[in-house]
Amino acid sequence: MDDVARIGRSRLWAAYASGGFGLAMSSYITFLVPLRAHELGAGYELIGVIAAAGTLAPGLLAVSLGAVIDRIGPKRSFIVGTSATAALSLLALLVTNAWWLLALQPFLGLAQTFGWVSSQGHITSLGTPAQRPMLTGRFSFFVNVGQMTSPLLAGGVAQLIGLRWAFVVPAAYAAFFAALGLVLVDTRSAAPARVPQRGGVRAAAQLAAMRGIQVALLLTFVRLWIGTVFNTFVPVYLVSKGFSTGLAGTVVATASLVGAVMAPTTGYWTRFMCTERATMVGLGLGAASLLLVPHVAALPIVYLAPALFGVALGTSLPLLLSIVTAAAPPESRGVALGLRTAGNKAAATGAPVLVGPLIAALGMSLGFSVGGLAALALLAASRQLHRADRRSAAAPLGAAAVTPK
């Protein structure tokens, strides 16, 4: 749809609110499943395998899920993904063996990812490219709020009724969004009537060859790199410096709070710079937060680092959604978002594997510095790639200007 004015207010707010499903549901699953597996007697090795199974399957099949979204439309896909998540969460109530929990995890991860990518596909199919940063910014507000509150709700309910019955919460949460999906506008008509019959992997390979998509994927990796390093190692560092676990938790939560505040402002920043540059500026502040961590481990300045990271967290997601869907053809928007999700999963898996040994070898302080500098180096590379993309896009115009008449 080219103009959001033609969408009813209730449907538009439903599109924004749909952002509250994906990462919030991921937080529910990430919080409850390892604890339930431990309660069922699983060792730490098996718990690690169970957790990995929930992310590996979506990472491998994200592109195929995106192709399905392109074929049946974001609205139907969102309803299917959220409904399947609700059903599988209820099924988890019947699981009394950790090995059955392992068998359930890939399907639960796929259902959650299908709903999450569908919600991204829906919000990016509304409005014009110029309106997209504003739309995705409001969508990202609900993403951050959901991600911030879901572990608190899951933990409180688990304490009241036990870990097994706590799966009622994600089941009810997903069922609410399945009902919300019925309100969403069907945007399949925005795509060509006949979607090319290309395999998801083939379409993804063609998209990955486009420089605009390459810029988006590189910036996505930087976002996940910064976020994984911050969320994984900052709490450990602060506790080692004498902070209580509760105080360390408030430091991490500050980033989500700032992110929720900043997300709706993304449309404003794109008035002064292109979407790619605005993303780089935001992620640059995130890289700076890693450089600052070893130097601000004291109250109250300890909150400066998560505040900077929160700016990156809140602005980068909506801007990246705008970049990747602007670069991809409308009929391949779902595949492009699936490709971005696959990159997310790869970065989230690789960052701790790389940074963990780095911190062990160099120490926390130097490890954070190297992590921040690596992010800045990748941002510099993305800037050069973006410049090359703009030069190649402008080349035909320049050639036409000098062609003799």
Spatial distance between the Cα atoms of 265 and 233, rounded to a whole number of angstroms:
29
Q: Are residues 120 and 251 in the same domain?
A: no
226 and 101 in one domain?
no
User: Do 84 and 29 have their domain in common?
Assistant: yes
pLDDT at 196: 46
Q: Which two tokens stand for residue 360?
A: 């062990």
Quote the pLDDT of residue 190: 45
Asked whether residue 270 falls in the same domain as residue 381, the answer is: yes
Q: 153, 182, 211: which is the final residue of a domain?
A: 182
Q: What is the pLDDT along the chain (405 residues), one digit of tens a residue?
A: 456 656 777 888 899 999 999 888 887 887 788 778 878 888 766 776 777 777 778 878 888 888 888 888 999 999 999 999 999 999 998 988 889 988 998 899 899 999 999 998 888 888 777 788 888 888 888 988 887 777 677 777 887 888 889 899 899 999 999 999 999 988 874 444 444 444 556 777 777 778 788 888 889 889 888 887 887 777 778 878 888 766 777 787 788 888 888 888 888 888 888 888 999 999 999 999 999 988 888 888 989 999 999 999 888 888 888 888 777 777 777 888 888 887 777 766 666 667 667 777 777 778 888 889 989 999 999 898 888 877 776 665 444 444 443
Q: What is the per-residue pLDDT for 350? A: 65
Same domain for 173 and 70: yes
Contact of 148 with 139, CB cutoff 8 Å: no
Angle at 314 between CA 308 and CA 315, to 5 degrees: 95
- How far is 402 from 398, CA to CA, in rounded Å? 7
Same domain, 34 and 145: yes
The whole domain housing 254 covers 199-396
Is 188 contained in some domain? Answer: no
* Count: domains in the chain: 2
The tokens for 269 are 């920043």
CATH of the domain at 15: 1.20.1250.20
Q: Per the domain annotation, does 29 fall within a domain?
A: yes
Establish if 253 belongs to a structural domain: yes
pLDDT at 341: 80
Is 157 in the same domain as 215?
no
- One domain for residues 225 and 294: yes
Specify if 61 maps to a domain.
yes
Same domain, 298 and 348: yes
158 and 293 in a single domain? The answer is no
Mark which of 125, 155, 182 sits at the end of a domain. Answer: 182
- Examine the fold and report which residue of 152, 182, 212 is the final residue of a domain before the chain moves on: 182
**178 and 221 fall within a common domain:** no
Evaluate whether residue 73 is within a structural domain. Answer: yes
Query: Are the C-beta atoms of residues 158 and 32 closer than 8 Å to each other?
Result: yes
For residue 124, tell me if it sits in a domain.
yes
CB-based contacts of 295, cutoff 8 Å, min separation 6: none
Tokens of 239: 């506790």
Q: Is residue 354 part of a domain?
A: yes
Tell me whether residue 45 is in a domain: yes
| Contacts (Cβ under 8 Å, ≥6 apart) of 157 | 166, 168, 169
Task: Check whether residue 111 and residue 211 sit in a common domain.
Answer: no
